[in-house]
Amino acid sequence: MSVVETVIQSNLKQILETIHLIARECGRTTAPRLVAVSKTKPSNLILECYQAGQKHFGENYVQELEEKGAELRDLQDIKWHYIGQMQSNKISKICAVPNLYCIETLDNEKHAQLLEKEMNKRGLKVKVLIQVNTSDEEQKGGLQPNEAKELGKFVDEQCAHLEFSGFMTIGSVAGSSMTPNPDFEKLREVRDDFAKEVGRGVEGFELSMGMSDDFETAIRQGSTNIRVGSKIFGPRLPKK
Ligand SMILES: *Cc1c(COP(=O)(O)O)cnc(C)c1O
């Protein structure tokens, strides 16, 4: 690592400090995981972040994930999260990415079956979160709460190579300035109901919620996995 800290490394440090501070304030014994969302940003900036200790990175576009996964394949403890919309014809490409750790955006059974088949073929396992459309917006991916719980059970019971790990939401723009955030409330309810229905503890299931503008609130509402992009890597240019 260079002796002089880069802007990205300093951003990362600040976010991590905030995360730990809030987690402590809430009396939580473990701080949520930080996923650094690197979409549209090049591998050399990911490497900067990695060299400052960050291991989890999130990507939205399959082609970018493939390219960066290949470029950074020697970093054996890097952990990739796929956080974009799923498409049947891209699932095999996602599964082929070295060090794929978690798919956060599963929202239908057909894709679950395809994922299971691909991971089985490779003899590997991957964590899976079910995306919930907590804000009920047409343009957003994700399932309604009841459907999400059903799919969670399907993955949990029927997919040996998928490790069902919890639920994810993006939430509405309006909700992101509210405290408490109603989308985060809803996701927590889905998780708590699910845990009750399957007779397990809520600690066994993740809540992936909170981004640059609302991660502090998300932590206070129980997030275990926050996804922060622009506050680490700077603003993104609009995708062409
Ligand atoms: C882009 C993106 C993020 C990060 O957004 P920022 O506002 O830049 O922190 C998090 N989650 C998902 C699903 C995203 O697409």
Q: pLDDT tens, position by position, for the chain (240 residues)?
A: 556 899 999 999 999 999 999 999 999 999 999 999 999 999 999 999 999 999 999 999 999 999 999 999 999 899 999 999 999 999 999 999 999 999 999 999 999 999 999 999 999 999 999 999 999 998 889 999 999 999 999 999 999 999 999 999 999 998 989 999 999 999 999 999 999 999 999 999 999 999 999 999 999 999 999 999 999 999 998 765
**In angstroms, what CA-CA distances link 84 with 91, 100, 141, 232?**
11, 14, 9, 19
User: 100 in ligand 1 pocket by Cβ < 6 Å?
Assistant: no
* Alpha carbon nearest to ligand 1 atom 7, residue: 212
Looking at CATH, the fold of the domain delimited by 7-233 is given as TIM Barrel (3.20.20)
pTM beyond 0.85, yes or no: yes
Task: Calculate how far, in angstroms, residue 37's C-alpha sits from the geometric centre of ligand 1.
Answer: 6
User: 126 in ligand 1 pocket by Cβ < 6 Å?
Assistant: no
Task: Calculate how far, in angstroms, residue 197's C-alpha sits from the geometric centre of ligand 1.
Answer: 30
Question: What is the rounded CA–CA span in Å between residue 206 and residue 188?
Answer: 9
* Cβ proximity of 148 and 130 under 8 Å: yes
* Cβ proximity of 86 and 107 under 8 Å: yes
Using a 10 angstrom Cβ sphere, with 0-12 exposed, 13-18 middle and 19 or more buried, the burial of residue 160 is exposed
Select from 14, 35, 37, 209 the residue to mutate for testing ligand 1; criterion: most ligand atoms less than 8 Å from CB.
Answer: 37
